[in-house]
Structure 1
Amino acid sequence: MRAKKISVSWSGGKDSSYMLWSILSQPDFDVVELHTVIDAKTQRVGLHGVHKDLIVAQAQSIGLPIRFIFLESGNTNEKYEETIKKYYTDLKKRNIDCVAFGDIFLEDLKKYRDNLLTGFNLEGIYPLWGMNTKDLAKQFIKENFKSIICAADADKFPFEIAGRHYSTQLLSSFPESVDPCGENGEFHSFVYNGSIFNHPICIKKTGIIEKFYEFKDSSGKIQKSYFHFCDLQPGIPLLNF
């Protein structure tokens, strides 16, 4: 029986990195490529704010092809679905069986992903699903993955959290309301070294930027959500903190 061919949903962050690491150790799976949704205008990864060039550098170090799914800025969820469905159609044409995600406990998100996949007879793989996020965060660090906080919710963190190394010390400073893996969107990370990489990703921190996103609340009123972003550029390896 052949191994299942998989495309990995890749954000460049710690959860997708740890998820990929766990899949690569399983002989029943054959990871064919990574894929990342990119803002067509900014050339950056959604809420992570990481530039496409750094995602390319990660893929090159891992040794896997990367496919970019470009989404126009300000597009609706309907447009997102139209775009991602084109990619899923391509996966089926290439006889790829599964799409892997780094989700941990958000039931609605998992259901949404699975509903999209069902129409293409693709299977959703969730290697981290149901894991205790405190244990997962500790295991990620124990396995010697290296990452920094690239984006953080301004309502939950001070300005200087952006660009900090994701470490046991940093985790101990998180408020109780913050999930240690940021599963509720409290923060996002960029991984620059670890066992899935053949060499570290060379990066430098060029500053911290505050941006906001508009969204409608349950009453239909427009709200703003502020985030601190660490602007990352190609540079020198961040090996010591």
Structure 2
Amino acid sequence: MAATATPVLLAWSGGKDAAWALHALRQRADVEVVALLTTVTAEYGRSSMQGVRREVLHAQARAAGLPLLEAEIRAGGDNDAYDAAMAAALAEAARRWPGLRTVAFGDLLLEDIRAWREQRCTAAGWRLLTPLFGRDTALLARGMIASGLRAGLCCVDTTQLPAAFAGRDFDEGLLADLPAGVDPCGENGEFHTCVWDGPMFAAPLHLRRGDTVLRDGRFAYTDFMLPASPHPVVGATSVATG
């Protein structure tokens, strides 16, 4: 790491925004991402928002050439439990990388979420960095695709977007088909993605699509897995998306 570069810990969900934040930070001379941090739900072994499998998260980190730290939470945990898990993970990161006190997120537009993160980070003695914040999401989405980012929709909020979009590639065809009012990057929670290729990776991941299931009567999740991963998904209702 260059002597003048600030070390950065990047929050990693497994999706396109985190991946693009990594790409954006790597274009800068004043910072260097030294590790990724993901929040995993213990009972499921998946990232807490996207539902990306733990083994896929680690494969993404290897492709990015970075270590991955985990903050493990319990299903249904409250904000206090989340804060405790994140504080423990940040403390571990600070021990491993002396001088590391900046954490980055791939947030795009939601000022209330950014303010909440900043308050939590400040309370823990950390600085918040949001390299993509305020970008035009339509231009950003097309820029990601044009630059070679490849991802699929792993979670769709069916109150905002039909379940048939779950499992689709994040590409120009998808952007053209999104209903009016749906953010091109899914910034309002309309959808989440699982990324398998892009300029932030040394080589693409060869993921396969599994079943699409409905959880909580609302969220359609498509399973993306490594070739050797077991297929079944339990505790949810199958959804036909074709």
Normalising by structure 2, what TM-score? Answer: 0.89
Partner of 1:193: 197
Given that residues 88 and 117 in structure 1 are in contact (C-alpha distance below 8 angstroms), is that contact kept between their aligned partners in structure 2?
Answer: no
Q: SS of the counterpart of 1:202?
A: coil
d(CA) in 1 for partners of 2:63, 2:144: 19
| Correspondence list, 1:86-101, <5 A | 86-93=88-95, 94-101=98-105
Name the amino acid aligned to 1:134.
A
Structure 2 residues not aligned, in runs of 5+: 229-242
d(CA) in 2 for partners of 1:80, 1:120: 13
d(CA) in 2 for partners of 1:121, 1:82: 14
d(CA) in 2 for partners of 1:67, 1:47: 16
| Deviation of 1:90 (Å) | 2.9
d(CA) in 2 for partners of 1:10, 1:39: 14
d(CA) in 2 for partners of 1:157, 1:106: 19
Of stretches 47-56 and 116-125 in structure 1, the one that deviates more from structure 2 is 116-125
Partner of 1:139: 143
| Aligned CA-pair RMSD | 1.4
| Deviation of 1:111 (Å) | 0.7
Partner of 1:82: 84
| Deviation of 1:97 (Å) | 2.5
d(CA) in 1 for partners of 2:60, 2:164: 25
Partner of 2:21: 19
Partner of 1:220: none
Between Structure 1 and Structure 2, the one with more strand by share is 1
Whether 2:48 is the aligned partner of 1:56: answer no
Given that residues 7 and 32 in structure 1 are in contact (C-alpha distance below 8 angstroms), is that contact kept between their aligned partners in structure 2?
Answer: yes
d(CA) in 1 for partners of 2:211, 2:91: 39
Instruction: Show CA shifts across 1:30-86 (max 9, x none).
Output: 111000000011001112111000000000111100001100111111111111112
Structure 1 residues not aligned, in runs of 5+: 213-224, 237-241
Whether 2:223 is the aligned partner of 1:231: answer yes
* Aligned residue pair count: 224
d(CA) in 2 for partners of 1:3, 1:121: 19
| Correspondence list, 1:1-241, <5 A | 2-93=4-95, 94-212=98-216, 226-235=218-227
d(CA) in 1 for partners of 2:122, 2:93: 13
- Share of identical aligned residues, percent? 31
Of stretches 174-183 and 156-165 in structure 1, the one that deviates more from structure 2 is 156-165
Partner of 2:240: none
Name the amino acid aligned to 2:214.
E
| Deviation of 1:199 (Å) | 1.1
Q: SS of the counterpart of 1:47?
A: coil
d(CA) in 2 for partners of 1:89, 1:234: 31
d(CA) in 2 for partners of 1:41, 1:190: 20
Name the amino acid aligned to 1:171.
L
